[in-house]
Amino acid sequence: MDLSFGPEYERFRAEVRDFIESHRHLAPNTMALRHKSVLDWQRLLIDKGYAARTIPREYGGAGLPTDILKSFIIGEEFAAARVRAGIGGQGIHMLVPTLLELGSEEQKRQFIPPTLAGEMIWCQGYSEPGAGSDLASLRTSAVLDGDEWVVNGQKIWTSTAHLADWIFCLVRTEPEAPKHRGISFMLFDMKTPGIEVRPLVDMTMERNFNEVFFTDVRVPKAQIVGARGEGWMVANTILKNERDTLADPNQAQARLNSLVELMRSETIDGVRVIDKPEFRDRLMRLQGRALANRFNDLRNLSNRLGGRADGALAQMIVKLQGTELRHDIEGLAIDVMGETGLAYGSNPYLRDKGSWQYQYMYYLGLIIGGGTSQIQKNIISERGLGMPREPRPHPA
């Protein structure tokens, strides 16, 4: 099997490595949104074609031709160097591709440039208290009143809602239609009167989620993406893009490399942890899973190069395997540190600023987010492998 990309792409890989080496001192060491160093780094990456690479210049991107292999190499090299590859999040990774595919020209010009620049932060209004895995059961309503929609309802598990400027939200505009129809995909300003955001503290002990309440929120009629009542199709486009971002094999490999370094530095009774057979065996199993993810990623890459779409099942496999792998990598690191691995928060004995403990909790949440592992397994088995549907209890 020849996994080399050829001379042209190896020259490009060298260019990327040279850029990272000469500019890594400019990469931000903070995750704070809107921080000057973050915005400056994003602008530099776009100018160099390492972020927003194929998005047209008129929408704030680099405007370069599509080259799947070059984009793949950029992701590999930034992850291997452990240098932040620009801004991500729900706006850039999820909404921007959807607007490029389904948005109006006015929506593209209004929303894409400030989102790419990191100046417009988005949150996603999907889940509700009674509509999680069965998202099509959502009840948040939007009623047309002249040239405005009047929105009422509630969303939950809304990441970054307390920081967001705008929300992309699923609302029911046709209450008499079947549940997968009559849903519209709407954009509105989070400063609109009638929106209340309440924090939800998650397992990381931080406010990553929120619940959002809408009371007579008035939204301009034109702020629907796609056709009225066809938001379920738009939502599935978003979910496809979301799954692609939840389990990057390059990031998993970079994290695994950090785990190896930790195991070489930690000792038990004077013996390096990596020299302990029971820990080394666990590491090798994780390395095998990381390689499987890597080769599956290359298979998907080959499909795209051949003009064959990955399909939803391929993305579900990546999401399922990738999030569980990351959780297990962080879990082994905690075990490697022994009792120090139980430290959290402001404990003075924390290793790596507590990142292992934080990511362990965070990825436990991502196993649920974007479709739980149980849901992913059901869809993969039934639609991908042709297995019988899960038995349903007969009504009483």
Instruction: Give pLDDT, residue 55.
Output: 95
Instruction: Give pLDDT, residue 209.
Output: 86
Distance from C-alpha of 217 to C-alpha of 345, rounded to nearest angstrom:
38
Domain ranges in the chain? 7-87, 122-227, 246-384
Q: Which residue has the tokens 């509700």?
A: 128
Instruction: Give pLDDT, residue 2.
Output: 61
Instruction: Give pLDDT, residue 50.
Output: 96
Give residue 32's region: left, alpha or beta (phi > 0; psi -120 to 50). beta
Burial of 30 (0-12, 13-18, 19+ CB in 10 A): exposed
Residue-wise pLDDT tens digits, 306-326:
777 656 667 778 888 889 999
Residue 172's closest CA among 239, 209, 123, 126? Answer: 126
Instruction: Give pLDDT, residue 310.
Output: 58
Instruction: Give pLDDT, residue 244.
Output: 60
Instruction: Give pLDDT, residue 299.
Output: 82
Instruction: Give pLDDT, residue 373.
Output: 83
Residue 189's closest CA among 234, 143, 148? Answer: 148
Q: How far, in Å, are 221, 286, 362 from residue 357 at the CA level?
A: 45, 18, 9
Burial of 282 (0-12, 13-18, 19+ CB in 10 A): middle
> If residue 197 lies in a helix (H) or strand (E), which one and from where to where?
strand 195-200
Residues 62, 53: contact at Cβ < 8 Å? yes
160 forms beta bridges with none
Distance from C-alpha of 225 to C-alpha of 367, rounded to nearest angstrom:
29
Instruction: Give pLDDT, residue 320.
Output: 87
**Residues belonging to the active site:** 242
3-state helix, strand, coil in the chain (%, to 5): 50, 15, 35
Torsion sign, CA atoms 137, 143, 149, 152: negative
Distance from C-alpha of 100 to C-alpha of 19, rounded to nearest angstrom:
29
Instruction: Give pLDDT, residue 1.
Output: 54
Instruction: Give pLDDT, residue 228.
Output: 92
CATH 2.40.110.10 correct for 122-227: yes
Torsion sign, CA atoms 300, 377, 211, 218: positive
User: Per the CATH hierarchy, to which homologous superfamily does domain 246-384 belong?
Assistant: Butyryl-CoA Dehydrogenase, subunit A, domain 3 (1.20.140.10)
pLDDT tens-digit profile, the chain (396 residues): 566 788 999 999 999 999 999 999 999 988 788 899 999 999 999 999 999 999 999 999 999 998 988 998 999 999 999 999 889 889 999 999 999 999 999 999 999 999 999 999 999 999 999 887 778 889 999 999 999 999 999 999 898 999 999 999 999 999 988 888 899 999 999 999 999 999 988 777 778 789 999 999 999 999 999 999 999 989 877 766 665 666 788 889 999 999 999 999 999 999 999 999 999 999 999 999 999 988 888 887 777 777 776 566 677 788 888 899 999 999 999 999 999 998 888 888 888 889 999 899 889 888 887 778 888 888 888 887 888 887 777 665
Residue 107's closest CA among 366, 98, 145, 117? Answer: 98
Q: H helices of 49-192, where?
A: 68-81, 89-90, 96-102, 105-116
Spatial neighbors of 2 by CB under 8 A, at least 6 apart, are none
